[in-house]
Amino acid sequence: MSLRLVFAGTPAFAVPSLAACLASGADVVAVYTQPDRPAGRGRRPQPSPVKAAALAAGVPVEQPETLKTAAAQARLAAHAPDLLVVVAYGLILPRAVLAIPPLGCWNVHASLLPRWRGAAPIQRAILAGDAETGVDLMRMEAGLDAGPILLERRTAIRPDDTGGSLHDRLAALGAEVLAEGLARLLAGEPLTARPQAEEGVTYAHKLDKAEARLDFQRSAVELERQVRAFDPWPVAEADLAGETVRVWAAEALDLAHGAAPGRILAAGPAGIDVACGTGVLRITAVQRAGGRRIGAGDYVNARPALRTLHA
């Protein structure tokens, strides 16, 4: 069968899925992405990663501010898509938009639904200590990430996974599951949708920079997850003996202590050990204001007084 497809996505996560659409044999007639946004030191408008990929592939790009207007909906309908594929687009799709493609709208979502519906499922899964996550190919309906599941891929969350590493792995899995769905659709094979479970619904609220601050009253295990989840954004922050630094890497140590949370217990080449509500957090990579990421040993060399604080 022939298939006219419109793709909607914005960030780097969506680029592998766009590539899967382009390689599928479907006719990608347009790519929708958010308007160019100011970025970088010059705050000049920059194209989204999806826009850059679409232009490189010679696909027409649409960048409406909203899809809620009749004009925007008429423009989409004029592309006559059989299917709309949405991957981290970032704009709300009204019911009128969902009704345009005869074959409906598919969404690639980076969690095992109904767990972690919403904006930041990758980071929330790490923060919560989940052992497993994955990607779902979902048929979109009204409601936030509430549609039935067409296909799914699972992956373990590794002990050293960061928000960045898990993002990249799930982006690749998302492209795989989308490619399988499109191949089956083009071959005329039915895709059976299963409703999401009614129990186990959780919401992955958007990340806020205010969440980056490490609270040493909490357990070292929780803080290690926070450091990993917030790499590469917004990056965890901590106060180390009066200086606020960004914390890029840390590990939880199951050590008993009687020190007040936040006290530095040891500082040397191996890292900076900080007392937590439970256990010890060993900080191994930091970034000072205006500086670059450095190992904790280099940081201690720059602040030799840290070696004596625990004496």
User: What residue numbers does the annotated binding site for (6S)-5,6,7,8-tetrahydrofolate cover?
Assistant: 111-114
Residue 165: exposure state from Cβ atoms within 10 A (0-12, 13-18, ≥19): middle
| CA–CA gap between residue 16 and residue 112 (Å, rounded) | 19
Q: Residue holding tokens 């040891």?
A: 266
Q: What string of H, E and C letters represents the secondary structure of 128-193?
A: CCCCEEEEEEEECCCCCCCCCEEEEEEEECCCCCCHHHHHHHHHHHHHHHHHHHHHHHHCCCCCCC
Tokens (6 digits) for 84: 């709309």
**Which residue positions form the known binding site?**
111-114
Residues 149, 113 contacting (CB under 8 angstroms): yes
> How many helices (H) and strands (E) would you count in the chain?
8, 17
Q: Give, as one character, the DSSP assignment of residue 305.
A: G
